[in-house]
Chains A and B, each alone.
Chain A
Amino acid sequence: MIAAARFGSWERRVLRDALVVGLVTGAYGVSFGAVAVAAGLAVWQTSALSLFMFTGASQFAFAAEVAAGGSLGSAAATAVLLGSRNAFYGVRLAPLIAPRGWRRVAAAQVTLDESAAMSFGEREPDAARLAFWATGISVFVFWNLATLAGALSSQLVADPRDLGLDAAGPAAFVALLAPRLRAGRPRLAACVCGAVALSVFAFVPAGVPVLLAAVAAVALGLARSRPGTKGGVA
């Protein structure tokens, strides 16, 4: 009886949460738009990143590498490496969503931190499916609108450095990094990779320090994954 009386209420709750997450995430989109234009990207290139790349940390990293004068190849490689976590969301979502045809393409594109987290937070499969799609689409819409707004307003500023926009990227990375530093191994990786990048910085072209840091992270991961221990369990 309770179930019958409450019919429809979980859908409303899931949709409302998805809307809120989309709006909140949209705020990052404004800062991405501003940072990317400050890095030297055109407004349409900035929007293209939000439409097609559509994974926040990778987009910020791409803009940061461009701003630092790194090669476009290393900017692209950094973006893809940072996006690698999305593959692991797909593994967990695949049996639940089981997308086919164009839905498979759409599901892959809206697979990101927010949609995965909202879906994993639901117990019932129907609610988890709705949470994934609703959150993914909501974030996609608001992220893209916000990116355009941020890019257009950044364009009005004569020198983005006057607003400190070149420091907005590192600040965004601080916020993205902090939740990952609770466990010991990620903390060690952050220190080792940072030290590697800084120590080679004066001797190699821009962009290369980040790629060497990625190599260090891979080596550290392989070295620390001893037989008998389970990776990913913090």
Chain B
Amino acid sequence: MTTAILLASAGCFLVKLLGYSLPGAWLRNRRVQAVAELLPPGLLATLILTGTFATGGGLAVDARAAGLAAAVAAQLARAPFIVVVVAGAAVTAAVRALG
């Protein structure tokens, strides 16, 4: 785990440093920019779905789905970041306590 943390941290640092080191034209390349524009939303959407519906062996709809619905509702209401996070956690906890 510690090795993975250090390797991932080194990777994230090198990516930051890359911006200061590579010729600007390389990162202004059309294809590179197109990929860079789509990676974060693609990965974030995936992490939302797997984090909400993944169980040890497959997919399931449980209390976390209610938490996700609450987080989406809070985000649609333009709530601040911390409110969105707390809404997701609190509703999940409440549904679990009731179930």
Contacts and interface: CB of A to CB of B under 8 A. Distances in A.
A80 B1 CA distance: 16
Interface size class of B (residues with CB under 8 A): 35 or more
Interface string A40-77: 01000100110011110110111010111100110110
Contacts of B34: 185, 221-222, 224-225, 231-232
Interface of A: 24, 27-28, 30-31, 41, 45, 48-49, 52-55, 57-58, 60-62, 64, 66-69, 72-73, 75-76, 78-94, 97, 99, 104-105, 107-109, 111-112, 161-178, 180-181, 185-187, 189-194, 196-198, 201-202, 206, 209-210, 213-214, 216-218, 220-222, 224-225, 229-232
A191 B45 contact: yes
Contact of B9 (A48, A84, A178): A48
Interface of B: 1-13, 15-20, 22, 24, 27-54, 56, 58-59, 63-64, 67-68, 70-72, 75, 80-82, 84-94, 96-97
Which 10 pairs show the lowest CB-CB distances between chains A and B?
A: A90-B19, A171-B88, A164-B92, A193-B42, A221-B35, A217-B42, A164-B93, A231-B33, A167-B67, A225-B34
Given A85-B40, A192-B42, 15 more contacts: A60-B47, A68-B50, A81-B43, A86-B19, A162-B97, A167-B68, A168-B89, A171-B71, A174-B84, A175-B81, A177-B41, A201-B50, A213-B43, A214-B43, A224-B38
Contacts, number: 324
- Report which residue of A66, A84, A218 has the largest number of chain B beta carbons within 10 angstroms of its beta carbon: A84
B31 A209 contact: no
B20 A190 contact: no
Chain A's interface: helix, strand, loop or mixed, by majority? helix
A198 B53 CA distance: 9
